Structure 1
Amino acid sequence: MSKKIVLLTGCLLLLVVLSAALSFSNKADKKALASAALPPGQAEVTAKNLQSDTGEVVVFLEEAKVNATTPQRLDGYSCSVRNASGKSIKALTLLWIFRTINNGTESGISERVSFNSLVHPDLRESGFGRPLEPEQTIPLNAGTITKWDKARFLRAEVSVEYVEFEDGMKLGEDHNKIASSKLQQTREGAEKYKQWLKTQYLQKGKSVDALLEILQGAGMPPDLAVSPGGEMSGAQMYRKALLSLMKSGKGQDFANKHLN
């Protein structure tokens, strides 16, 4: 009788071991299949949609991709944004986090990619910058090359950090007010460039030719008091948009309306 009990116990233990091994194998196979499903050069990305206070998804993230040539190099990352809120979106910011490992220690670096349809009212009025309308989808791509000397890239995470709607409503965590501050700095930089340009335009006798010469000059003027980053970006956007209007023959009308 004791031998039967021992034999039965041994069989049960064997079944438990085999079951655990099979479970581990299935999990490993699923993970391997998930990795194999990724196209060559693309890495794992976790995308987090933005929800309202009631739990309804208002912004969807679609086709999030990271191009990883090697474990030490990223050649760009992209994601499409779909407005499911039922309202027009003025601006939004995506927060990307890239997870790396170095000597067994995991860490992450963050990057932000923004959509800003209202850099300056002058530009919006002239056709530069349109809101993201309900059910509209736009791509937000970043081609920045990122390299690590020792760390190895593991995976990426992307989320909707901050959204501004046309009606003034705002959503998102906006960590440390970084996203909203950068959008505001961009707008302030555009306004600073406009005021500087207006002074130059009036001093030169409202000459459109002189205005075009300024816009086509190399680099930004040294006496333009804008800070690097957001303000400089806004100034460059205003300049680029006005230069485009000048080349299309609409510069005189713009100057008469906004620079007088």
Structure 2
Amino acid sequence: MDHTALRVTAHLASSVCVMDDWSPSLDALLEWAWFDERGISVSPTSETVQTADLPVARGGDPDRYPGGWWWCVSSPHYTQALQQTDWATKRWEADLIYPVDWGRRKATIQTACGPEKSYRLPIFLRSSERIDWWLLGEPTAIKRLLERVTGLGRRRNIGYGQILSWQVCLANNDWHLVGPEGQLMRPIPVGAASLNAEWNNQPRMLWAPHPPGWMPQNWTLCLMPTGNIVRLETAEGVSGGRS
């Protein structure tokens, strides 16, 4: 399969709920779409997990680096216009419940635990018009897979992370790993620091270089990219202006 340097852009209709600067992960989204297209469960256990055959190039060397390999996809890049916190709240409202004749029994509704437990949980939101990723892949197949993805991040069920459209276009440069100024563009195992001595100064974090990120077997100490998220007060333009 021929792999081409591409830029993928998600045009957003609402803020995205993410917990870190390296999410949402495009390779994880593509893996989900690949399994969904084939009717394979997307909630496997660590014993039954499979590796998708994505139309994306692989990088790394499992024999040289702990954690092994990664899909040739950059971390997300975007200009953050606003960061805010919303709240998800659930509370038992006894006055709104249709009256029930409990007879001689004294009704007790358990709100400290169980399905009626009250909660107020923070939703951390980031506002941006678009998110860009760079990758090496096959454009037609990637477009087909992304048609299945209609939302990004958490709390999609209440309207966050909605996607207006996907755009997959040819890129002038392959920036999935090394950016235009030599910067690291995606997490890689620390053992791969030999690819660029300057990357030894990057922050380090326990991370999964390839999906699924929830599986402990995939976690390894990684060098993490910085500068992929531009806050509005330091922004000079939209991150997607590069190609």
TM superposition score category, shorter chain reference: under 0.3
| Alignment TM-score, normalising by the size of structure 1 | 0.21
Computing the radius of gyration over CA atoms, which structure comes out larger, 1 or 2? Answer: 1
